Structure 1
Amino acid sequence: MIKGDTYKNLRATGLVFVAAALAGCVQPAAVSPILQSRPTTIAPAPSPVQTAITGPSAQSKAMRDYYAKVQNNLLLNDLLRTDGGGSDTPFTSHQLASNFDAIALNDEYTSVGGTYVARTTPSPLHKWTGPVRIGLEFGASIPAAQRATDSATVAALAGRLARATNHSIALSSKPNFHVLVLNEDERQVIGPRLEQLIPGIGQAAINSIENMPRSSYCLVVASDPADNGVYQTAVAIIRGEHPDLMRKSCFHEEIAQGLGLANDTPRARPSIFNDDEEFALLTGHDELLLRILYDPRLYPGMQPEIARPISAQIANELMRDAT
């Protein structure tokens, strides 16, 4: 088994970490850990990483080979589905509401004596109130063809998320949701750029990103500076070494989780908010979770016990309308 999620949903000082790792059935041969970056049509602000690195290192090339084996093993085990679910994955309004509770109203990690430990903890509802403007930054090592592919992926995803949430979400040259595609070398020196994007992010958070283990395939950091449930900035880190489907999966999961669906649950199906990696891309079930989250009856900072009956009512309405 490939096991990860080291930094999943760690909340402290107004920050939320969400990391994704694919859980396959076959472990490929070990290889030294590496990350990589990707390109975009949106011009990012100057980054020291982009001028310091001109191509992938031997480590990064080795990691690209490693993740290609990971994706192949997952596909051989009928994982990373892209069909969004069907007759084999039915769910009820009760299941939808329960999954929303687990994913949007809980944290997976909590702080104990200055150290984060895995412990599911109720969390106030978090989401964006202002427009979400997504910007892509690519490390200098990312090939032009990969940049074009990723730019198209994120543009299509932004439109889909906007329709699902009925919230303003779009690509922009002046982003507040930054998506960084970086190789191993670029990610390990990304600290100064992170401090520009999220002032006050803190060295602990930077260390978590720069030292991200191979088992964590991508992550997102969302900032709630007023600690009132309102996200104002987010940064997603995507490994450029991933093959196309794994990169696309990371875009789908991290951007969606950066909107406020911070947790995972093994009960959710069909869903990407489930570490079993059955699905690679957002499903119809996941779009309903986003629709619930951005329903105006649910407001940022709402406590779980208040949000729970309202979200259950919305889930009933959505499932009734779908029949």
Structure 2
Amino acid sequence: MQHAARYLLICAAALGLSACMVQTGPQIPPPADPGDGAGYTQSPESAALARYYANIEARLIADGLLRADGGVADAPYTAEMLAANFERIALYDEYTLSGGRFIQRETPAQLRRWEAPVQLQAHFGASVDRLQQAEDLSILSTYARRLSRASGHPIITVPEEGNFHVLYLDRDEQRGAGDLLHRLVPGIGQETIDEIETMPRSTFCAVFAFSEHGARPVYLTAIAVIRSEHPSLLRRSCVHEEVAQGLGLPNDSARARPSIFNDDEEFSLLTPHDEALLRILYDPRLTPGLTPEAARPMVRSIAEELVGGASDAPV
């Protein structure tokens, strides 16, 4: 398994893609109700992917990974560590655009986040039956409340007119997602559509966050793609990772622990450490557009407040 490709976030307009300018004005209507999954026939390719991901989840759990306990007991961290992790995760990009394709190349970035309330809207392909839809909606709603408490920013789930779209699609639905993507993000670039429609199996899920080209780096809309072939824990892990990254934490760090923003697969769900990253990100003393160097002193100060004072005191 290619761990580096497990999760993917592209901050599209922040990379200078003029075609990804988000249009302001009335929200687009939601896609048609896909139904309850009755009569939907899973393709052999999609069935093979479901077996593949089930085997991966079982193997990772057997290896003591995909932990859901938050790492409080055995992974203490200091304010200095928290500040360093924030800088690497929030102020560096993991991917960049080259030759019409997104490639993995870590580069410094400006601080980006949402100013408008985040409205999470789930979109289900016909591959997702009613029972699974209800479970997914419950998980997304509960997670939205947790993210809002952690960040201090308004984050809710809505049945329509959302600005952060969470797509639950199988492989065949991804391959034909272009029309849906155009409706959700008018002006979306073909590079982003291609990335979603051809996502390799080593990429478990992805999120694409958009800001207006040439303007302040404030997110206006986002699209997360969750594979409907995933078993329950990987499915929930993808939701935790992609939605949190789409709030403004675009990178991963091998040093971040306990954290889901790490490709080692140790933790599957948002940890208290990650909640602290969100609290820093949405602290009003920071502003969109800050560079790593400009943000560093205030990030360190906020981290010390959150940890409890001394930079060498672990929590």
What TM-score do you get using the length of structure 1 for normalisation? 0.86
- Structure 2 counterpart of 1:304, from 292, 309, 312: 292
Residue pair 1:104, 1:125 contacting (<8 A) in 2 also: yes
1:200 aligns with 2:187: yes
Q: Describe the SS at the equivalent of 2:69.
A: coil
Which residue matches 1:46? 31
Q: Which runs of 4+ in 1 moved over 6 A?
A: 48-53
Distance 2:16 2:59 in 1: 31
Residue pair 2:167, 2:226 contacting (<8 A) in 1 also: yes
- Structure 1 counterpart of 2:148, from 140, 162, 171: 162
Which residue matches 1:187? 174
Question: What do the CA deviations read for 1:252-288 (whole angstroms, capped 9, x no partner)?
Answer: 0000000000000000000000000100000000000
Distance 2:99 2:7 in 1: 17
Aligned ranges 1:50-65 → 2 under 5 Å:
54-65=40-51
Question: What do the CA deviations read for 1:10-62 (whole angstroms, capped 9, x no partner)?
Answer: 44544699xxxxxxxxxxxxxxxxxxxxxxxxxx8225977999332222122
Indicate the percent of aligned positions where both proteins have the same amino acid. Answer: 49
Q: Describe the SS at the equivalent of 2:166.
A: strand
1:250 aligns with 2:235: no
Distance 1:295 1:267 in 2: 23
* Change in CA separation of 1:50 and 1:123 when aligned onto 2, cut-off 3 Å: farther
Q: Describe the SS at the equivalent of 1:118.
A: strand
**Cα RMSD (Å):** 2.4
How far apart are residue 99 of structure 1 and its match?
0.1
Residue pair 2:9, 2:209 contacting (<8 A) in 1 also: no
What letter corresponds to residue 187 of structure 2 in structure 1? G
Residue pair 1:134, 1:171 contacting (<8 A) in 2 also: yes
Which residue matches 2:23? none
Which residue matches 1:70? 56
* Change in CA separation of 1:12 and 1:145 when aligned onto 2, cut-off 3 Å: closer
Question: What do the CA deviations read for 1:102-152 (whole angstroms, capped 9, x no partner)?
Answer: 000001233455554433211000000010000111111212221111111
* Change in CA separation of 1:284 and 1:78 when aligned onto 2, cut-off 3 Å: same
1:136 aligns with 2:122: yes
Name which of structure 1's ranges 312-321 and 112-121 shifts more when overlaid on structure 2.
112-121
How far apart are residue 192 of structure 1 and its match?
0.9
1:209 aligns with 2:196: yes
Which residue matches 1:24? none
* Change in CA separation of 1:286 and 1:3 when aligned onto 2, cut-off 3 Å: closer
How far apart are residue 200 of structure 1 and its match?
1.3
Residue pair 1:55, 1:140 contacting (<8 A) in 2 also: no
Distance 2:232 2:246 in 1: 21
1:282 aligns with 2:270: yes
**Please, which runs of 5 or more residues in structure 1 have no aligned partner?**
18-43
**Please, which runs of 5 or more residues in structure 2 have no aligned partner?**
18-28
What letter corresponds to residue 308 of structure 1 in structure 2? R
Higher relative contact order (CA 8 A, sep 6+): 2
